[in-house]
Structure 1
Amino acid sequence: MTQSLDKIEVKKITGVSAQKQGELHAFGVSTVKDLLEYYPFRYEDYRPRTLSEVKHGDKVTLETKVIGIPVLQRFGGKSRLSCKMVAEPWMFTATWFNRQYVREQLTIGREIVLTGKWDQKRNQITVTDYEFPDRGEGKTGTLQPVYSVGAKITQSWIRKVIHQALQQFGDLIPEILPQLILRKYDFMPRKRAIATIHKPEDSQEGQQGRRRMVYEELFLFQLKVQAFRVLNRGRMDGVVHTTDNATIRQFVRSLPFELTNAQKSVELEILHDMRSPYCMNRLLQGDVGSGKTVLAAIALFTTVRSGFQGALMVPTEILAEQHMRSLTKMFEPFEITVGLLTGSVNGRKRKDLLASLQMGMTDIVVGTHALIQEDVFFRSLGMVVTDEQHRFGVNQRGVLRRKGYNPDVLTMTATPIPRTLAITVFGDMDVSTLSERPKGRVPITTYWVKHDLLERVLKLIRREVDQGRQAYLICPLIEESDKLDVQNVIDLHIQMSQAFPDFKVGLLHGRMTPGEKDEVMRAFYSNDLQLLVSTTVVEVGVDVPNATLMVIMDADRFGLSQLHQLRGRVGRGVHASFCVLVADPKSEIGRERMSAMTETDDGFEVSRRDLELRGPGDFFGTKQSGLPEFRLADMTADFDVLEQARDDAAELLKDAQFWTSPDFAPLRSYLQGEQIFQGDLID
C-alpha cells in the first residue's frame, strides 16, 4: 500500500536532523506533505540581462569580467570593496559592503556573475550575490524561490531540503483532480505543478504550476461547501417554526420605529428559512447601525412563539447586558422572559437561571462564552444567534449549536464584504445583506489631520465635553515600543489626564481583565468618564449615544474596515458626531486609507477599498474567522478562479457519476476526510 505524504515525518528526508525537524515544526511543517506545500512567496531572478534593459534602482544579474584591481576601504568596523568591471560594451563599478574576503578572488580577466541593485547615476552595482562560472556554481540563468524563513532555517537550506524531498518522495504525490477538469483547463499533472512552483524553468512555467495549484485549493474548498449544501439541504430534521404572520406583525408594529425596506426584505428571508424543515444557516451582514439586532429580535420572537427557546451569544459582558436590556424592553408586552448569563453571573443567581433554562421557564438567554459551559442545558433550543461571529472560534460556535437538536443558526457581522464575495466564500451559508440605513441615523463627519495639528484636536475634544458630550481617543499600542514610532495608550492616558485636569479620563486596553474592562465601559456609558483613551478593544463594544467624537491616533496603522468599525462607535445618538484621523502616512497605501475614510462612510464601499489595499488575508483576520487559509490562492486576485471553481464543484456534485466513478474517488476520499458526510454544519 502506498504511504501517504501526510503520514511521513520530515525527519525521513535525507539531511533533516532531529534539531532541524524541531526548527521546521516552528514553521508549521511536520510532514513531507507540509514541506512540499510550503510554497515560496516570490522568486529571485538570476537570469542575466544587459545594461541597456536596466532602469535605475532595478535588481539585476549581469555576466561580467574583472578589468581593474579591487580597492578596499575601511571605516569604523565596516568595509567597502570596489572593482572595475565590464559587461560588453559597458564599463562600471561593482561594490561589496563588509565582504573584504572577495578581494582575493577578483583577478583581472576572471569572469563573474553579479546580482545586485543598479545605480544609474553612479554607474555602479551594489552586489548582494555573486558566483564564478569557473567553479560550476548553479544559480545563474535560474529563478530561485524565496521562502518565509528565519532563525536557523536559511534560504539555501530549505531550497536544498525541498529539492531532496521531491527526489525522495515526489512519486508519492497523488493526483486529486479528475481527468475532465485537467483536460478542461489544460492543467499540468499535480506532481509536476508542485515541483515547478519550487523551481520553475522560467516564469511562464512557474505561472502554469501556480495556476493549477491555485485552482485546486479553491476547487477543494468549494467542493466542501457545495457538498455540505447537497447533503444537508434535504434533511428533514431541522426545527420548523410555526408562528403565523399575524402574530409576527403584531410584534413588529409594537416597535417604536418602522423597518426599512432592506430590513423587511431580510425579515422575509429569515422567516422563510425558519419555517422550512431544514436547518437555517444564515449570515446577516450589515454596516454599523444598520439594524441587525431588530431582525435577531424578530427571529427570537418567532422562535419563542413556536414553542422553542433562543440564545444570543456576544463577545463581551457589557454588550450582553446592552442586548439583554433592549430585548427585555421589546418583549415585555408579550410576556417573553429574557435571562443574562455571563462570567459575572454566579452563585444562587446562576443556579436559578440554569434551572430555569433547563425547565424551559426562561425563553431567551443572552450571554458571553459562559453560554457554552458544560453545565448549561436547554429544554428546547430552537434558535442560536451569534453577534460579531469573528470574535468566536469555530469550536465555540459549534458547542452552543449542539446544545439543541439542529437549531436554526443566525450569524451577524458588522464587517460587510461585497455580496458576491460573501456568497462565494461563505458557500455553506445563505447571505442576507442590510445595505440601507435606518431613518434618522446621524451622519458622521470625518477629518484627516497631521500630528502638528493636534492642538486643534484637543480644542475639539474640549468643545464636545463642555457641551456635555463624550469622546474616544484610540491608539495602536499598549506600551512604548522600540520598533514602532507610534502613540501608546498608557502614555496617551497620562498626557490627556494632564491636558484635561477637569475631565475624568478612563483607560482601556486588552491586557486588563474582563471585569476591569467592563467596569471602565460602564463608567463611560453612565458618563462618569468624559474621555476614554483606549486600544481597539472598543471596536465591538457598548452603545454610548452620548459619545460624539472619535479620535484615532496613528490612524494609518489600521486597516480601513477597522477604522470604519471604530468610527461606528459614535453617531449613535441625536447629536452631530465626528471622527478625526491623526496620521502622517509615509506610504501610498496609508494615504489612500485616509482619503477613503474622508470620502465615504458607506461600510460596503470601505470594505471594497480595504480588500483592494490589503488583500483578503488581513481583511478577514485570523483563523478565528472560520475562513480557509489558502497557501497560494488570493481571494482578491484569484476571485475569477474562485467563482469558476464554485460553478465546477456545483456542476460535478449534480452528476450521479461523481458518487460512483473511480475517477472521482480521490475527491470522495477528500470529502470523507473533511467529515462532510457526518452532517455537521461547516463554520
Structure 2
Amino acid sequence: MADARSRPRGKPKSAGAVPVPATLPARLARLGLAGPGDLPFHLPLRYEDETRITPVAEAVAGQPAQFQVEVLDCEIAFRPRRQLICRVADGSGALVLRFLNFYPSQQKVLSPGTRLRVFGEPRGGFFGDELIHPRFRSIQDDEPLPDRLTPIYPTTAGLGQNTLRRLIQKAMDQADLSDTLPEELRRRFSLEELAPSLQALHQPPAVVAMDELDQTLAPAWRRIRFDELLAQQLSLRQAYAARRARNAVVLPPSGVLTDGLLRHLPFTLTAAQRRAWQEIAADLVQPHPMQRLLQGDVGSGKTIVAALAMLQAAESGHQAALMAPTEILAEQHYRKLAAWLEPLGLTVAWLTGSLKKSEKTAMAKRIASGEALLAVGTHALIEDEISFARLGLAIVDEQHRFGVRQRLALKQKAAAPHQLTMSATPIPRTLAMSYYADMDVSVLDELPPGRTPVLTKLVGEGRRHEVVVRVRDACREGRQVYWVCPLIEESETLQLKTAEETYAHLCAELPELRVGLVHGRLRSDDKAAVMNAFLANEVQVLVATTVIEVGVDVPNASLMIIEHAERFGLSQLHQLRGRVGRGSAESVCILLYAQPLSETARQRLKIIYENTDGFEIARQDLALRGPGEFIGSRQSGVPLLRYAQLEDTALVEAARAVAEIMLRDHPLRGAQHMARWLRGAEEYLKA
C-alpha cells in the first residue's frame, strides 16, 4: 500500500524508483538495527485494522477506517496552497482525499475509474467528509482482505512502513529465534515461548474490537518485556561478579580515627546512618572492590557516612578522594570534612579548577606524595596531572551529573580502589533493581532529629507582591530567604523572570535588606564571597539559579521562593526545597508559577505540593518521565529499556531471580541472551 503521507524530500522520485541499497543499512542503523538479527525485535508501536471494509456512509469522524472506493476525479488545486484533491465514492457515499504534499506519480495512480483501498481518519471538510494524506493503493475487484492486523513500526526518514514490514517478515523467516530461556524456567515463571510471541506481535489476528487487542497480546508482551529485563539483569549481575573477582586493597579499621570523630560530633548518628556505615565498613575489608550506592533523601546525612568511610581508608594508610559535580557542593563537603577531620590530625586537600596555579600545584604535590590522605574537589581531581600515592577509596557525589567516563576516571587513579557513589535523588526500588543491579545499595531512610517539615505553597504569578511582603516579614524576624530563578539573564525565547532582573527588583523593593546574587557565570571567588556573606547572615536574601540546588546548608534560612516553578523538574524542586528546614524555625517553600500550565507541569506541581517524602516523589517522577530521563542513563552505559515497564515489580524480581540461576547453571544461554538483546552494549559495564 503506497504511503502517501510521507513528505517529499529533495527531488521527487519516479513511480518505480527503488531506494539505493547502500543507504538502507544507514537508515536501519538510525533505528538501532545493526543487522538482520535485530529486526525481529523491532516491535510495532500500534496496529491498524485493514481486515474489514467500512462503507463511506458509516464513516465516523476521528475514527480510523478502511474504505474501498472508486476514483471519480482528481485535480491539482492552488488555493489556499498547491494541493491534490481527489473525489472518491462507493455505493453508499462520497469522500474527498486531500494531499498537501504529493508526487506526479501519485496523481497518475489516482486516475478516474481506479479502484482503491484507502485507510485514514475521516474529518469534516468544506465539501463533506475528507481524509488528509490517507494511505492508499490500487486494487483489483476480487482482491482478498488480509486476515491479520497491519503493524505500524517506529521508523525514520526514507524508510517506509512497507519496506520495514517486508524486511522484518523476511528476518522472521530466516533468523534463529531459538529460545535462550531454559524450558524449566520458562514454565516455572509462566512465560510464553519466544518465537510465537514475536509472531503474534508482528502479525496479530483480527479482533472484534481494537480495544480487545491489549488483552489478546498481553502474554506475548509479557515474554518480550521479561526477556529485555533478563538481558539487563544478566549484564549487570555479570559485571557485578566480574568486579568481585578482581583484587582490591583491604582497608582494615583500627577504630582510632572513626572513634575519635564519633566522640566529638555535636550530634548522634541515626540508626540508618549507623546501618549504612556498618555495610560500607564491611565492604572495605573485603579483598575485592566495593561498588556501593549510598542514597538518601535531602538532608539525610550522607556526608558523615562518607567521612567515616574516608577515615577507615586513612586508618589503613591509604588515601580517599571525594568528587562533587559543582564547586559549591564540593566546597560544602570540604568545609564539613575539614571541620570534622582536621582536629584528628588529618590534612584535607582541596582541589578545584578555580584555584591559582601555584595553589593547585601545591595541592597536587601533597596528594601525589601521600602527605594528604584525604582529598575533596570537583572534576579537577581527575585531570591527567593529578596522581595519588595510594588511593584506596573513591567517592563520587551526585553521580548522575557526571558522564560515565568522568565517573570511571577517578577510579582509574588507582589499580582497583573501592568506590562509594552517593545520590541525594532517591531511587525507586524497581529502578534500583533494574539499573543498579551491579551495585550494592545502602539507603538512608530517616532524617536526623531537629529537621523541621517544610510547608509547600503554590502561588500564582499575579500574587507576587504578597510574596515580597512575606520575604520582608521573614527577614524582620531574623530569618534568611532564598529566591531561585531559572535563567541568569533575559532570554528572547523564554519570557521568564531572570536572576539579574529579580535581583534588581528586590534591591529596589527591599532597600532595608541586603540582597545577594549568585549564579554559575560568576567567578569562583565572587561566588564564594556571596555564599560566605549569606552563611554569616550579612546577606538576608539570596537570589540564585540552581547552583544552590545541592550542597548549601544555612540553618537560618527558613523561606524559599522558586520562580517559574512550572519550568523545573520534580527532582530539582525537591532538592531546592531541601535547602530550607535545616534549623528549628518553621520553614516554607513558595512555588511561584505562571499560567497557562501544561498538563505535565500541573502534575509536577501537584506531586511536589502533596508529598515531602523524596522516595515517593521519585516513584511518581519515574512514572512521569521514564528511567532514561530519570537517571541520565543515556550517558551511563546501562542499556535503556525499550519495552519493559518498571512498574511491574513482580516481573523485575522474576528477571533478577532467573538471571542469578542462568549465570550459575546456564552461562552459555545467558551469553546468547545478552548477545541477542544488548548487541554489545554490555561492554560498557565491564569498566
Please give the TM-score of this superposition, normalised by the length of structure 2. Answer: 0.79
Residues of 1 paired with 2:58 and 2:309: CA distance? 64
Q: How far did 1:219 drift?
A: 1.0
Change (3 A) 1:497 1:182: same
1:285 aligns with 2:292: no
246-255 or 599-608, which deviates more: 246-255
414-423 or 441-450, which deviates more: 414-423
Matches within 5 A, 1:2-81: 15-16=19-20, 40-44=44-48, 46=50, 48=52, 58-63=62-67, 76-77=80-81
Residues of 2 paired with 1:53 and 1:497: CA distance? 69
Q: How far did 1:241 drift?
A: 2.8
1:214 aligns with 2:214: no
Residues of 1 paired with 2:57 and 2:377: CA distance? 65
Q: Equivalent residue for 2:118?
A: 113
Count of paired positions: 653
Q: Equivalent residue for 1:265?
A: 275
Structure 1: which amino acid aligns with 2:170? Answer: Q
Partner-residue secondary structure (3-state), 1:59: coil
Q: Could you give the per-residue CA deviations for residues 82-132 of structure 1, whole angstroms, max 9, x where no partner exists?
A: 9796796xx687674858998995979976534115679x99565451425
Residues of 1 paired with 2:122 and 2:567: CA distance? 30
> Retained in 2: the 8 A contact 1:41–1:148?
no
Partner-residue secondary structure (3-state), 2:420: strand
The match for 2:347 among 337, 344, 365 is 337
Residues of 1 paired with 2:90 and 2:172: CA distance? 44
Change (3 A) 1:531 1:168: same
Change (3 A) 1:428 1:67: closer
The match for 2:134 among 129, 132, 149 is 129
The match for 1:603 among 603, 614, 631 is 614
Residues of 2 paired with 1:54 and 1:616: CA distance? 43
1:635 aligns with 2:641: no
Residues of 1 paired with 2:113 and 2:677: CA distance? 64
Residues of 2 paired with 1:523 and 1:117: CA distance? 66
Q: Equivalent residue for 2:209?
A: none
Q: How far did 1:226 drift?
A: 2.1
Residues of 2 paired with 1:69 and 1:52: CA distance? 17
> Retained in 2: the 8 A contact 1:116–1:128?
no
Q: Could you give the per-residue CA deviations for residues 498-543 of structure 1, whole angstroms, max 9, x where no partner exists?
A: 6556766666666777777667656655666655555434323433
1:160 aligns with 2:171: no
Q: Equivalent residue for 2:174?
A: 171
The match for 2:331 among 284, 308, 321 is 321
Change (3 A) 1:458 1:59: farther
Structure 2: which amino acid aligns with 1:336? Answer: L
The match for 2:321 among 292, 311, 331 is 311
> Retained in 2: the 8 A contact 1:39–1:631?
no
1:368 aligns with 2:378: yes
Partner-residue secondary structure (3-state), 1:371: helix
Structure 2: which amino acid aligns with 1:553? Answer: E
Partner-residue secondary structure (3-state), 2:267: coil
Q: Equivalent residue for 2:625?
A: 614
258-267 or 543-552, which deviates more: 543-552
Q: Equivalent residue for 2:15?
A: none
**Cα RMSD (Å):** 4.6
Residues of 2 paired with 1:457 and 1:258: CA distance? 37
Matches within 5 A, 1:566-581: 566-581=576-591
Residues of 2 paired with 1:673 and 1:610: CA distance? 29
Structure 2: which amino acid aligns with 1:214? Answer: R
Q: How far did 1:446 drift?
A: 0.5
Unaligned runs of 5+ in 2: 1-17, 207-212
Q: Could you give the per-residue CA deviations for residues 190-246 of structure 1, whole angstroms, max 9, x where no partner exists?
A: 6x76676566566578666644443222112111222234444466x3333322457
616-625 or 180-189, which deviates more: 180-189
Q: Equivalent residue for 1:145?
A: 152
Q: How far did 1:320 drift?
A: 1.7
1:470 aligns with 2:477: no
Matches within 5 A, 1:183-582: 187-189=192-194, 203=213, 210-233=221-244, 237-244=247-254, 248-466=258-476, 467=478, 469-475=480-486, 480=491, 482=493, 525=535, 531-582=541-592
246-255 or 67-76, which deviates more: 67-76
Residues of 2 paired with 1:399 and 1:138: CA distance? 60
Change (3 A) 1:610 1:358: same
- The percent of aligned pairs where both chains have the same amino acid is 34
Please give the TM-score of this superposition, normalised by the length of structure 1. Answer: 0.80
Residues of 1 paired with 2:376 and 2:663: CA distance? 39
Change (3 A) 1:50 1:315: same
Q: How far did 1:311 drift?
A: 0.9
